[in-house]
Amino acid sequence: MNPFERALRAVDRAQQRRTGPAVVVGVVKKYGDDRGGLLAALITYYGFVALIPLLLVLSTVLGFVLHGRPGAQHAVLNSALADFPIIGDQLQQNVHSLQGSALALTVGLLGLLYGALGIAQVLQHAMAEVWNVPGTGRPGYWPRLARSLVLFGTLGTGLVLATASATLIGAALAGWPARVGALLLSLLLNSALFLACLRILTPRTVRARALLPGAALAGPLFTLLQAFGAVLITHQLRHATQVYGFFATVIGLLSWLFLAAQVTVYAAEVNVVLARRLWPRSLLQPPLTGPDREVLESIVQQGRRRPEQRVEVEFDDEPTSGEPGDKEPTDKEPGDKAPTHREPGDAPDS
């Protein structure tokens, strides 16, 4: 064993002996095992696809509302919407000639429907992947569509509540108490909304209390992302030139969506690791720990596509116990099959 590997083995033994670092390593490894980066990229793509038609719908509706109404045009020009790159420049130059289009509205609504349904389906797929649900246990298209509609209703309700609460705090308080109150309220609402969305997206076999740790983690992180996005628009992009502002807006939006997607996937991974006690995980193999074996076996079982399909998993090495370096007592000979995960109703081994 070379000095570099010896040092890594020492670090591995140290993290396995301590619960905090072991849980963190377990979450990061589970994220990698589930290809969390790919799931986050899919969520980001469909989120961006949904936002572009949304902008088209908003601009078209704005054309209907502002056409022939000088008072409304003046109010929009003095609002925060005029500070956005591209949109702000177009409003200032063409607000008097801005008109709505029925064709643009129809195309925008169809694109918004496609993107919104896509991101809802991808989120459900991501939760099934994170919880390693076999293909035989995943819902069909129509149940997924029903969940998507419930998800949209929940998100819309949460947005209305957040807006109304922020308005009430702003009217009742002033100065820094209003800002602190709005921040705390946003944190609580984000946590509650994320918990509700996880309950909709996560398989029903998972208990609601198993989703609490991820919601408690994601709520503050989403609040920080919202604050960061507001600061970026207010101080960095509002006075950007038209070309520079376009690229900066697109890159910033994609980055923000990807960070939000990663927060979502990592929060779900935290729930899985804590609910199934998937720690300690080994940094260097062999040997594999018990949680290592459980994760690898779950990934294989996840590939089942038919009820009559049976999948067996075996390992060549012996599992280690919670104390690194120790081996669990066993009467099996090398090469014996490890216990195989079975769903309820599976036939016993012959």
pLDDT tens sequence across 201-255: 998 889 999 999 999 999 999 988 887 766 665 555 555 555 555 666 678 778 8
Tell whether 293 is covered by a domain: no
Q: Is 319 exposed, middle or buried (0-12, 13-18, 19+ CB in 10 A)?
A: middle
Is there a domain that residue 201 lies in? yes
pLDDT tens per residue, range 59-83: 677 667 666 666 665 555 555 455 5
Phi, psi of 181 (to 5 degrees): -65, -40
pLDDT computed for residue 347 by the predictor:
43
Decide if 317 contacts 287 (C-beta within 8 A): yes
CA contacts within 13 A on the Cβ side of 307: 3
Backbone angles phi, psi at 201, to 5 degrees: -85, -25
CA distance 178 to 171: 9
320 belongs to a structural domain = no
Low-confidence ranges of the chain (pLDDT < 70): 55, 59, 62-63, 65-100, 163, 166-175, 229-249, 319-350
Angle at 255 between CA 250 and CA 259, to 5 degrees: 150
Whether 91 maps to a domain, the answer reads yes
Backbone angles phi, psi at 347, to 5 degrees: -75, 145
Count of structural domains within the chain: 1
Long-range CB contact pairs, 300-305, < 8 A, 24+: 301/132, 301/134, 301/341, 302/129, 302/132, 302/133, 302/134, 302/135, 303/134, 303/135, 304/134, 304/135, 304/136, 305/135, 305/136
**H-helix or E-strand containing 292?**
helix 290-301
Token readout for 83 is: 């500070």
Report the pLDDT value the prediction gives residue 174, as an integer from 0 to 100. Answer: 66
| Chain centroid offset of residue 119 CA | 11
23 in a structural domain? no
Q: With respect to residue 17, please indicate whether it lies within any of the assigned structural domains.
A: no
- Residue 239's domain comprises 33-276
In our burial notation (b when 16+ CB lie closer than 10 A, e otherwise), range 237-271 reads: beebeeeebeebbeebbeebbbbbbbbbbbbbbbb
Provide the token pair at 207.
């208990």
Sign of the Cα torsion 270, 29, 49, 93 reads: positive
